[in-house]
Structure 1
């Protein structure tokens, strides 16, 4: 599965806006199959957006330093 970094979040938000506009048009035109595909893509995109938020707010485990003798 593709791992998305926090720096990609603005681009993901742009993609979400575009998909929402496409969905609105599909609803207007009555394209049921297109609506289903866009809904699936939006759900997966929302998960990626949540992942970038989680990664951005998570502490990084650096481990314990080794003792020099």
Structure 2
């Protein structure tokens, strides 16, 4: 199953709002079969929006900070006199 991308939420909200308007129009013209089909699509859009909200709520960012490599880099000697005396 594909997970919806929370970045696409504004587009899906527009689709949901359009479906609501189309359902009202279908019911006003007494196109009951069309209205029922649109209600199925609306239920799917609402489910996707709820899933997007859950994904966003679970998504957290942890700042780990910048690693320090002084211990991993080994020994460094910045004293030029000691460097020249090492055999």
TM (norm. structure 2) is: 0.64
Structure-1 separation of matches of 2:7 and 2:36? 29
Quote the residue 1:67 is aligned against.
none
1:17 positional shift: 0.6
Q: Does residue 4 of structure 2 align to residue 34 of structure 1?
A: no
4+ aligned runs moved over 3 Å, structure 1: none
Runs of 5+ consecutive residues of structure 1 not aligned to the other structure: 61-69
Greater RCO structure (CA 8 Å; 6+ sep): 1
Q: TM-score, normalised by structure 1?
A: 0.80
SS, match of residue 3 in structure 2: coil
Which residue does 1:8 correspond to in 2? 8
- Which entry has the higher C-alpha Rg, 1 or 2? 2
Q: Which has the higher helix share?
A: 1
CA–CA distance in structure 2, aligned partners of residues 48 and 9 of structure 1: 9
Cα distance, 1:7 vs. partner?
0.4
